Amino acid sequence: MTPPRTALAEVLARSRYLLFDFDGPICGIFSGLPAPTIAAHLRDLVTAEGVKITGVAATSGDPFDVLRYAATISPDLTQTVADGLRAVELRAVEVADATPHARQVIEAAHNDGRAIAAVSNNSRQAVARYLTTAGLAPLFTAIIGRTEPDPRLLKPDPHLIGQAVKELSAAPADCVLIGDSLSDIEAAHNAGTPSIGYANKPGKLERFTTVGADAVITDMAELIPHLTRRQPATD
């Protein structure tokens, strides 16, 4: 059973702060430079250090699987892979496709007086570069992304959401995270923050519902009508 349509209006009415995952809700970071190509590049960095890759990371098309594998080997290898991932992310954002209606959503939220943050497992530098190039950076109060090589600090861990909440001087319950992955929804739950699942691929709607997303959308445009209906804040 999916969340009722009223859930979206209710969760946005309660939320004074909007937290956007980057890859998915804002853009497809690897749409121009495919994730499997990046994962293969990171594997080359690992094997160049004389390390054999085993398990999921040996064939995965997810660059973060390679980073997680490196973290099981040594801090030095983790740093090498994290640096390599950041470098390709900085290239990827230059050719990334914008998510349909993302700009309109961000502008509507800003015009409604809501504070906005990006909360991403991607490197902070890459997120900031994309938002700056797109002319959206001035609309964001906080840009939170990966700055440490340790993958344990990434979503679904609540660490990044906690950083955003702190920078916004907010309470977790007054925020809502909009994300397109299970790790986003789980991170929000772990942080005590409501979540909206962006089901941009088949099957996600059911999965988001199963893990307890407060609301689910299939198009970012669904947010826009509710971004001028926020209940007045009370202190």
Let me know whether 73 and 171 are in one domain. no
Position 196 in a domain: yes
Whole-number percent of the chain with pLDDT over 90: 94
Range of the domain at 206: 5-29+97-226
Let me know whether 170 and 189 are in one domain. yes
Chain segment 103-112, per-residue pLDDT in tens: 999 999 999 9
Position 221 in a domain: yes
Q: How many CB atoms lie within 10 A of CB 151?
A: 21
**φ, ψ at 196 (rounded to 5°):** -120, 120
- Which of 77, 92, 107 lies at the terminal end of a domain, its last residue? 92
Confidence band for 4, pLDDT divided at 50, 70 and 90? low
Let me know whether 108 and 213 are in one domain. yes
Chain segment 45-68, per-residue pLDDT in tens: 999 999 999 999 999 999 999 999
Chain segment 122-161, per-residue pLDDT in tens: 999 999 999 999 999 999 999 999 999 999 999 999 999 9
Let me know whether 64 and 162 are in one domain. no
Q: What is the CATH number of the domain that holds 165?
A: 3.40.50.1000
pLDDT of residue 30: 97
Q: 2, 55, 63: which is closest to 29 by C-alpha?
A: 63
| Count of the separate structural domains present in the chain | 2
